[in-house]
Structure formats: C-alpha cells, structure tokens
Structure 1
Amino acid sequence: MQARTPAPADDPGPAKVGRAEAARWSGALDLLKLVRSRPGVTRAEAARAMHVGSGTATEISARLRALGLLAEAPAPPTGRGRPTTTLHAHPDGPLAAVVDLRFADWVVAIADLEGTLVDTTTGRHASKRPERVFADIRAAVGELAGRYDDRVQAVSISATGTVRRNAIVQSSVLGWRDLEVEPLLPGVPQALGNDATLAGLAEARLSHPGRSVLFLTIEVGIGGIFVDEGHAVTGATGAGGEFGHAPLGDPLVACPCGALGCWDVAVDGRAVARLRGEAEPEDPRAYLIEALVDPGSRAAVEECAAVLGRGTAGLVNILDPEIVCLGGLAPELRRAAREPFEDAYGNGLMGFRRDDPPRVLPSALGPDAPILGAAEAAWDMILTENGIAAWTERHAE
C-alpha cells in the first residue's frame, strides 16, 4: 500500500475544505431564502438574522451577486453609522415557470426570487381531454420560458385534483384518473401539487409565517391542507390533505370519488342545488355565487354553512392549528350565513378549546393563492445546493 504524503501545515486537507465549502453554500442558501421571504432586506439586517458578522454577510452577498443570484441597491440613509445596501432578486437571475390548472381554465406565469409574477398568460379549456389541455399549457410554458433564455430553473403545477407523486390520480371536476404529467420543459425539474395544498402553503408562508395554519377552500368541492411552520403536511405520497373526502356530509349522498358522505359534495354549489331539489349545476362555482345572494336559496345556504362550520371544528380538534384560513368561496359562504357557521363551529369544538378557539380568517391572497403556492414549491427546488450548483454551472459557461 502506498504511503500518503503528509499535508503541509497550512493545508486544511480535503475534509476541512469540504466542510468549509458546505458552510459557504449553506450561508448562501440562507441568504437567498431570507431575501425570498423579505425582499429588500438590508445587508445589516441580513447579518443579524443569519447570526453572522457584517464581513461574512458582505462576502456571501458579493459571491451571490457575481453568480447572478442577487442584486444590491443603496439603502435609504437612516442617520449615523455605516451605509448599507438592500438585497433583491438579480435582474438576470433564475426564474420559475408556474401553472394554475383550474376547472375551466389555466394560468401560466413566470415567478422571480421575490415572488413577483413577472409575466402571465391565460387560456380556457377548449376541451377537457387531458392531452389537449396539457398541449395548450405546454405551448404557453415554452413560449414564456423562451422569452428568458435559459433562466427558468424549475416548473411547478397547481392542479385541481388529487395528486400523488407525479400524477393526478383523480380529478372529479375534470373527469380525469391516473394521469401522469409529462415534463412541460424538457430537462427542467418539475413539481406537481394539489391546488388547495399549494394555496394553503402560500397563505401560511406569506400571510402567517411561522404559524400552524389549517387552510380550507371551496371551489367545486372543498379542499385544504394543514401547514405547520411553513411545511405542508401531505403524507407519504403527497396525497394528504384531501379533507373534502372525509365523511362529514350526508352518508346517503355519493361523491364522484367513489365514497359516500363526502364533505366535498355537502358545502358547494352541488349541495345547494340538491337541497333545493334541483339538478346538479354545470358550473357549481357560479351556481353557489348566485345562491349566496338569492333569498330562495337561504335555507340551503345556511345548511351548507353549518356543515362547513361543523367540519372545520372537527379538523381543529384533530390538527390543533393556531389559525384557520378560509379561501375560495368559503369566506363568502360563512359571511352569507354567519350565525349557522359560528354555532356549528363553536358547538363542534372540544370544551377546552371554546374559551380561546383558533381565529377563522379569510384568505389574504385570494384567487392568486394556488399559483403563488406553485411558486413556493418551485423555489423550494431551486434553493437547494443542487439547484444553485446547476445555476452556477450554467452561469459559468
């Protein structure tokens, strides 16, 4: 066996070099994530938040600036002391392509590090056939990404349906089952998520950072997710959070998912129509919007609001959130029949929770929540050692 030559005294050795390089990447990722959550943070504030010295923060930001990942601008003067700079997305830095696939239409956008949707295009489904829908979306993603050379580093899709790994295993509203979603941009990492899951992720991270949030949204059916300190609890395969298919509705009513008594068909426009003795509406969302202001639908709306409140209480008892956030048409349903909702919610809570129940708040992000959540998922892929290394290799070419 050949003897090893001792390293010089001033040579840190490969192990120490590896640890030092890992630490440098860790600091860089920490700073990028901080700028993503707090665009315009000053370099001095960043140093304090990262618990590093000003020299280290300066060195990290300089490296990221040289790699086209961050930009700096002079901070407004605040009095005596050294001037500092504010940190922002680099104007030529990495981007994400994000998709919101909905019941009747879709949105495609480009998202930068700061969460800004810098380019957007929309389209309606000419057909519900999945190959036609995704052909249109793929063309839109390719066209938008082509405007930015090779800067798009991730694709993320929010889909109205149950998602498991890289497939839409069931979308009752679109009539799809077991649909594998092929890459929209060849060679670019891609994520697929349920629309309610991603909307809840965005609401929790952007509106209630660091809190445990139960998010519920009504569109066609009800969906949601529990987000604990910025992490969506989606289970072993990503299909978790299908609250709409908990047996919280009428056990005699069949759901398109194949189960009986789903909450999904007990709180939306389909439920209002059924309670009124009418046929299932072609557009349950539009039907519910009209029913909320129709005096003839009052009793049905109150029943749906009570079912929403009762189910919400059950999930609060199970998950113990700090905040309940209602998205989609859920805030409007609660507002239209507040007393039935509040009575059912309060009566459904365990006794010890009633003195200080979690606040029930409307969505702060509105209809943009799913696509903003898709952006969060995309940047979760980009802001990794592998993601930044891939950008660095391209930037060095």
Structure 2
Amino acid sequence: MASPVRRRAQESRWHTASQVLAWLRLHPGATRAALAQDLQLSSGLATELTGRMRALSLLAEAPAPPQGRGRPTTVLGAHPDGPVVLAIDLRMADWRHAVAGVDGGLRDVTGSRHVSRDPETVLADIRRVIAAVRDRYGHRLRAVALAVAGSIHDGRLAQSATLGWRDVDLTALTAGGTVPLLPGNDATLAGLAEARTGAAVGARAALHLMVEVGIGGAFTVDGQPSTGAHGAAGEYGHQPYGNRSLPCPCGSRGCWDLEIDGRALARHLGLPAPADPRGFARQLLDRAPRDTATRQALEAVAGALGAGIGGLVNVHDPDVVTLGGLAAPLRAAAPEVFAAAYTGGLMAFHRGQPPPVVDAVHGDDGALHGAAVLALDHVTSETALAEWSARPH
C-alpha cells in the first residue's frame, strides 16, 4: 500500500494532468508554452508533464506551422493511440454519433433517420453502433454519452414528450460491457458545451436555450449545469408561457413548447401539426422572404420566444443567453419583433443592461459536443487517468 505522502503526490500528478486535458479542449492546437503560461507551470514542469503524458498515450506533439524566423515549436493534441469516447445525440426524427479524443474534437460524425420510433428498435440500432465502435477501438473506448430529448433519472428516460417515450431503461445500451453509459438531456448537454467551449466561455452564469421540437435548455454556473433533484431541470418548454387552452403531449396545458416550434408555425398558418416539426420549421425559414403569411407566422413565434426568454432572465439573472438549434434562425427571421418582446418581458432593473442574447457556437451540433464533454469529464478525471496509466502502453 502506498504511503500517505506518495498517495498525495500521485493524486496531485493526476489532478494536474486532468487540468492539462481540460485546457487542451478549450485550446486545441495550442503550444506547450501557452499551456505553461495559462496554468502557471514552470517550463521544466510543463516539459516533464507533457512528456509523461505522451508516454501514456494521452498527448501528442506535432510541429507547428512555420511563422517566419525563430525557434520551431510544437502544438499539443490528442494522442493517436489515446482514449476516446462515443457521443450520441438521439432526436425525434434521427440520431447521430461521433467519436472524440481527449482534445474534444468530433470525428466520424454519422447520422441516421429512425426506421421506427419504437424504443426497442431505436435502442437496438444504437447498441449495434456501440458494439461496432467498441470492436474498432477496443480498450481505448472509455465511455459512451447519450444526449436525448427528455428527462433522465437513474439511467432511465423518465419521459420524452418529443419521442413519445416514458420510463425507458437506457442502461441496456452498454449492458454486459465495461464501458459506462452517461445519459443526459440534449438541451442540458448543449448548454454544457456552450459554457465550456462555446459562446458562454468566461461567463459565471449562463442560460442556454435550444429549439428543436419544443424548447429546452440549461442554466450553468461556473461551467456546470444545474440538473435538479431528478435530472429534470431545464424543462423550460413546459412553463405556462402559452395559450392555456392548448394541451401539451407532456400532460400539461399552455406550455411554451407549443408557441415556438414548427407546430406553432403550422397553427398560425392554419395547417395541421406536422409530423416533423423541426423539418417543417426549416422549410418555412427558407421560404420566409417570399411569403407574407410565413413571415407573419415567424414573427409570432419570434415574439413568443423573446418574451419567454425575458421571463427566464428574470428567474436566473444570467450573464449571457445563448441560442442553439432553431432558436437562432427564428430570432434572425424577425429580429425587431424578438428584441421588443425580450425587452418587454424583462423586469425594469434588467432593461438598463440586459444580458446579451447571442447565437451558440456549436449550432446544431451542441448536444453532440455536450455529450462528448460529459464523457470526457469522466474519462479525464483523476481516477480515470490513474486507471488508464495502469494499462500497458
């Protein structure tokens, strides 16, 4: 058994290595000198630490592009034989997956539409992909993270009004294997991605909102989302910001969800609810400049979006609001209407310096990036790095 002094030294070593990998995700392709400066490491310690992490197949260094005269330098990146994670984004009409190394960059991004939305059919398709990735990467696959449009609790999808699922066990996706499954709400994970590597980097408190089918989001503080007692925090779409006469698939009435997506647009146009609200909204956004009725429908939705965001700013008092999914193009379709509704929804003391509302950096890939962040937080923890180092390299 290691002595207390040696154990503390080992813990400190992995703590610093974990910090290095977190820094790398925020600064992909940066130099060792920049790493040392930002983390306040001596040049010698940075050299020793990165050398050790190269030997453990955690980091790689490659020559930097030449920039005139001066000593050649190198840039840091994920080791080609290092740990990887699988990120999955499960949506209403389709699902996507990607592999990420410790630098957080997504690769092998692949999408597939649902043949059926039956839970057993969809989960069987996902299991096959997980098995294929495990076969390809072997022990290098260290975690699987799943973003899904619904409320997650104890490894189960408690409810998804979007998918029409209730109480679905997700743990079977990796049953019988050694790779952990980390499920999370898609909008929460998109907010996590914006807080860590997107438009909300540096903000202590940030509100992220994402429109797909309905609206969800996350409130993050110091880069960590608040998920609530049962993992259901951020269900902003089920706030009573809408018409109380309209029933919502969630079981409530008057939900904000029904005012800000393709279903609302169809209703304003006198059309039946579309089978694919997200795709329908995309079509209308493309044709809006040529059609007066469509522009008016988009103005109504943009106004509902802005007013609701004003109400949430009153609740959370964020430094910044980020918009993902369809939220950004919906605002852009009627910016004046959105701005007036947003300002009108704010308490008076917020109006002098309202939190800026900015487009998300990760756009439609927010949930996928967030799933990768969730998995990499697990993989680059001190405990996980110690386990990785114990393997032969």
TM-score, normalized by length of structure 2? Answer: 0.92
Given the superposition, is the C-alpha separation of residues 104 and 77 from structure 1 closer, same or farther in structure 2, using an over 3 Å criterion? closer
- Quick check: 2:24–2:77 contact (8 Å CA) kept in 1? yes
1:390 matched to which residue of 2? 387
Please give the alpha-carbon distance, in whole angstroms, between the structure 2 residues aligned to 1:39 and 1:262.
41
- Quick check: 2:86–2:145 contact (8 Å CA) kept in 1? yes
* Correspondences of 1:235-384 after superposition (within 5 Å): 235-292=228-285, 293=288, 294-384=291-381
* Correspondences of 1:1-397 after superposition (within 5 Å): 14-75=3-64, 85-185=74-174, 186-207=177-198, 208-211=200-203, 212-292=205-285, 293=288, 294-395=291-392
Q: Runs of 5+ in structure 1 lacking a partner?
A: 1-12
- Choose 1 or 2 for highest CA Rg: 1
- Quick check: 1:165–1:192 contact (8 Å CA) kept in 2? no
- Quick check: 1:40–1:86 contact (8 Å CA) kept in 2? yes
- Quick check: 1:316–1:349 contact (8 Å CA) kept in 2? yes
Deviations 1:176-235 (A, max 9, x none): 001110253421111111111111211222123121321111111111111222111212
> Offset at 1:22?
1.5
Structure 1 residue ranges, 4+ long, deviating more than 6 angstroms after superposition = 77-83
Please give the alpha-carbon distance, in whole angstroms, between the structure 2 residues aligned to 1:151 and 1:30.
20
Please give the alpha-carbon distance, in whole angstroms, between the structure 1 residues aligned to 2:50 and 2:358.
38
- Quick check: 1:108–1:137 contact (8 Å CA) kept in 2? no
The residue type paired with residue 160 of structure 2 is: S
* Count of residue pairs the alignment pairs up: 384
Q: Secondary structure of the equivalent of 1:168?
A: strand
Please give the alpha-carbon distance, in whole angstroms, between the structure 1 residues aligned to 2:273 and 2:64.
58
Given the superposition, is the C-alpha separation of residues 346 and 24 from structure 1 closer, same or farther in structure 2, using an over 3 Å criterion? same
The residue type paired with residue 201 of structure 1 is: L
Q: Secondary structure of the equivalent of 2:139?
A: coil
- Quick check: 1:121–1:140 contact (8 Å CA) kept in 2? no
Please give the alpha-carbon distance, in whole angstroms, between the structure 1 residues aligned to 2:66 and 2:327.
45
Please give the alpha-carbon distance, in whole angstroms, between the structure 2 residues aligned to 1:128 and 1:359.
38
Q: Secondary structure of the equivalent of 1:321?
A: coil
Q: Secondary structure of the equivalent of 2:234?
A: coil
Q: Secondary structure of the equivalent of 1:223?
A: strand
Please give the alpha-carbon distance, in whole angstroms, between the structure 2 residues aligned to 1:85 and 1:331.
38
Given the superposition, is the C-alpha separation of residues 275 and 112 from structure 1 closer, same or farther in structure 2, using an over 3 Å criterion? same
> Offset at 1:138?
1.1
Please give the alpha-carbon distance, in whole angstroms, between the structure 2 residues aligned to 1:256 and 1:307.
19
Please give the alpha-carbon distance, in whole angstroms, between the structure 1 residues aligned to 2:296 and 2:50.
60
> Offset at 1:134?
0.8
Please give the alpha-carbon distance, in whole angstroms, between the structure 2 residues aligned to 1:359 and 1:63.
43
> Offset at 1:351?
1.4
The percentage of counterpart residues that share the same residue type is: 48
- Quick check: 1:109–1:144 contact (8 Å CA) kept in 2? no
Please give the alpha-carbon distance, in whole angstroms, between the structure 1 residues aligned to 2:66 and 2:340.
53
Given the superposition, is the C-alpha separation of residues 57 and 79 from structure 1 closer, same or farther in structure 2, using an over 3 Å criterion? farther
- Quick check: 2:311–2:345 contact (8 Å CA) kept in 1? yes
> Offset at 1:265?
1.0
Given the superposition, is the C-alpha separation of residues 18 and 144 from structure 1 closer, same or farther in structure 2, using an over 3 Å criterion? closer
Please give the alpha-carbon distance, in whole angstroms, between the structure 1 residues aligned to 2:94 and 2:68.
52
> Offset at 1:74?
4.0
Please give the alpha-carbon distance, in whole angstroms, between the structure 2 residues aligned to 1:179 and 1:310.
34
Q: Secondary structure of the equivalent of 1:40?
A: coil
1:7 matched to which residue of 2? none
> Offset at 1:83?
6.2
Deviations 1:118-151 (A, max 9, x none): 2233222111111110111111122133222321
- Quick check: 1:119–1:144 contact (8 Å CA) kept in 2? no
The residue type paired with residue 319 of structure 1 is: H
TM-score, normalized by length of structure 1? Answer: 0.91
> Offset at 1:82?
7.2
Deviations 1:292-312 (A, max 9, x none): 414223433322221111110
> Aligned-residue CA RMSD in angstroms?
2.0
> Offset at 1:92?
0.5
Q: Secondary structure of the equivalent of 1:395?
A: coil
